[in-house]
Amino acid sequence: MERKKILVADDNRNIIELVKMEFEILDYDVVTAYDGEDALKKIEKENPDLVILDVMMPKINGFDICMKLRDNPTYKDLPIVMLTAKGQEKDKFWGRQVGADEYVTKPFEPEVLEQIVHNLLEHKKSGEMPHAVTKLPGYVSMQKEIEWRKAQNEKFGAYNLYFEPEAFEVYAKKYGSIKADEILKIAGNVIMDIIKRSGDNRTFLGHLGDNTFVLVGDKGNTGKLIPVIKEEVNSLIPLKYDDEDRKRGFVFSRTINGEPLRVPLIKFVAAVRE
């Protein structure tokens, strides 16, 4: 059986040595890098099966590396784990925004990282990476579902359901990534519950990106579910704001130029998927 290769990049040599030792015991090949520039070069040269990136590194930080990898078709499906500092909740939010699959807060137990790496590599082998928060299937499963229904000459509907991006980003900045993740979980759980109540167990639910869910199912039934989903999710979201924001109906924020901005509470909306 071919050994899996992982790359770990961190400017802390103690972290590097710990990860290298633990994973070599588990029969992985481990490539190391101590700054972002070296990490990018070694990813291209070594072609690892998975990378572990510290957020804060010299020359190029982990976020920028992640963005560069996701912009390159060769690495769009490469599993990426981000290492974040304790208390830096915003790192988790931005990690997901730039395409990281999982994050681990330092200091961490080696067993936690080992399990995450194992799970990501198993999902990669199956051709599917579930969403890190909701654990729902992603793009590959959605495409298979649509292709199967087309092959059966079924009349089906496909809808994107998503949170308005600006409001979601402002919420995550103010309340933190854990609270933002809770909103994603609420949406996923509500949609699954509504599907079950509809009695159509063949309706597919996936999670394509940080804010976007997709629903594929019988055209008539799926169309009827959309307004119910929107109403139920939107009735719960305000409860995740503090009393002051909820009563106002908006959150104070600022534009990139520093000008004050009023951002409405998050809304869950839907659109037909072309």
| Domain regions of the chain by residue span | 5-126, 139-272
pLDDT given at position 104: 85
What pLDDT was estimated at residue 17?
93
pLDDT of residue 125: 67
CA distance 53 to 103: 9
Q: Quote the pLDDT of residue 126.
A: 62
Task: State which CATH number among 3.40.50.10540, 3.90.1170.50, 3.40.50.2300, 3.40.50.360 fits the domain covering 5-126.
Answer: 3.40.50.2300
| Predicted confidence pLDDT, tens digits, the chain (274 residues) | 568 999 999 989 999 999 999 999 999 999 999 999 999 999 999 989 999 999 888 898 888 998 888 877 678 778 899 888 755 556 556 666 677 888 888 888 888 889 888 888 877 766 666 777 887 888 878 888 888 888 888 889 999 999 998 899 899 889 988 899 899 999 999 999 999 888 877 899 999 877 899 999 988 889 899 999 999 999 999 999 999 999 999 999 887 777 888 999 999 999 998 7
Identify the pLDDT of residue 92.
59
- HSE-CB for 116 with a 13 A CA cutoff: 24
Of the candidates 66, 62, 67, which has an alpha carbon nearest to the alpha carbon of residue 36? 62
Nearest to 100 by CA among 65, 126, 73, 127: 65
The pTM for the full model equals: 0.58
Q: Residue 187's pLDDT is what?
A: 95
Instruction: Give me the pLDDT at residue 160, please.
Output: 94
14: part of which helix (H) or strand (E)?
A: helix 13-25
In CATH, 139-272 is 3.30.70.270:
yes
Q: Which of 117, 94, 92, 105 is nearest to 22 (CA)?
A: 117
Contact between residue 67 and residue 98 where contact means Cβ atoms under 8 Å apart: yes
Amino acid at 190: V
Q: Could you tell me the two tokens for 139?
A: 């793009």
